[in-house]
Amino acid sequence: MEEREVLWGKYTWVELGELAGKGAIVVLPVGSTEQHGPHLPLDNDHYTVYRLAVEAAKHAWSRGFKVLVLPPLPYGLSEHWMNNPGTITLTPHTFISVVVEILRSVASHGFRRIVVLNGHGGNTHALNVAAAQFTHEAGDPEVRVVVMDWWRFVGEEVMKVLDTPIFHADEGETSVAMALGQRVVLDALQGVRPEEPPYPQKWRSLDPTRESRLRNYSYNPRPAVPGAYGEPGKASRGKGEAIVEAFKEKFVEMLEDLF
C-alpha cells in the first residue's frame, strides 16, 4: 500500500472521521532531538520511531488492521545532553502535558485505541504517567492506550541479532538507523571510541526485555562528550533489517492480542 494511506496528516477531516467510525488504531511516535554521537544525526530518535511506526502500520493494514500514524513528537526529556550542541529538551511537566493533550485530541474525534511508540529512553517513565493521567481523566473503559519502547518491544530479537547490548548511539541504534534510511556518517563511525554508560553496570539491565534494578535520578547535565556507547562500529544494515522485520511482525501480534 502507499505510505500516504497510513499517515494521519494526509487525510481530510471527513475521511478521518470515517476511519474513526471504523475503529482505526492510532500510533503516536515520540522521540527526541539530541546528540547521537559523531555518526548519527540529532533527529535519530524521532526519525527511527516514526519510520518504524510507518512500516509497522503498512504491515498491519495488509493484515486487516486500520492503523494511522500521527506526526511524530520530536522533543522529549534530554536535559542530560544539553551540553552537546543541538539538543532540545522539554521539562517533565511540559512533556507530560503535551502528550496528554495530543491523546485527548485524538480521543475527542472518536478514536478509542492508541499506541504511544517511544524512541527515547529518557521519555519512558513520563509517557507512562501521561497515559495513566489521560485514561483516568477520560473515564471511559473503551479507551485504551498502549505505551512501548521500541527496543524493549523486540528485545528478544535485539539480543539474537546484536553482538553488544543496546544503550545509546550504539550497534543497535546505528543498525536500525541504517535499515530505515537514516543518515549515518560512515567516516565518523569508524573512529568512534565506545564510552561506558554513566552509571555502574551492576545496577542496570543489559537485557532490553527487562528494567534496570533501580531508577537513578539527579540534576547532572553531562559534559559535552562524543556520546556513543557500546560499539557502533559493529552496526550493519542487515542487523537493522532483521530487527525492523521482527518489530513489524510483533506489532501485528500485539494488535491481535490487545485490540
Residues 125-183 have pLDDT tens digits of: 999 999 999 999 999 999 999 999 999 999 999 999 999 888 899 999 999 999 999 99
CATH class of the 3-213+223-258 domain in this structure: alpha beta
pTM equals 0.92
User: Strand, coil or helix: what is 3?
Assistant: helix
Banded model confidence at residue 223, pLDDT cuts 50, 70, 90: low
**Arithmetic mean of pLDDT over the chain:** 91
Domain extents in the chain = 3-213+223-258
Res 230: pLDDT: 78
What single letter denotes the amino acid at residue 216? N
97 CB-near residues (< 8 Å, 6+ apart):
none
Q: Is the pLDDT of residue 226 over 90?
A: no
State mean pLDDT over 218-222: 62
Beta pairing, strands 113-118 & 25-30:
parallel
Distance CA 3, CA 50 (A): 12
Cell numbers given for 116: 504511544
Answer yes or no: are the C-beta atoms of 4 and 58 closer than 8 Å.
no
Which pLDDT belongs to residue 196? 62
List strands edge to edge, sheet with 67-69: 67-69, 25-30, 113-118, 144-149
φ and ψ at 179, to 5 degrees? -65, -30
The DSSP code for 58 is: H
What confidence tens digit (pLDDT) does each residue in 9-60 have? Answer: 999 999 999 999 999 999 999 999 999 999 999 999 999 999 999 999 999 9
188-197 pLDDT, tens per residue?
877 666 666 6
- Residue 211 pLDDT class (50, 70, 90 cuts): low
Q: What is the pLDDT of residue 24?
A: 98
Residue 111 above 60 pLDDT? yes
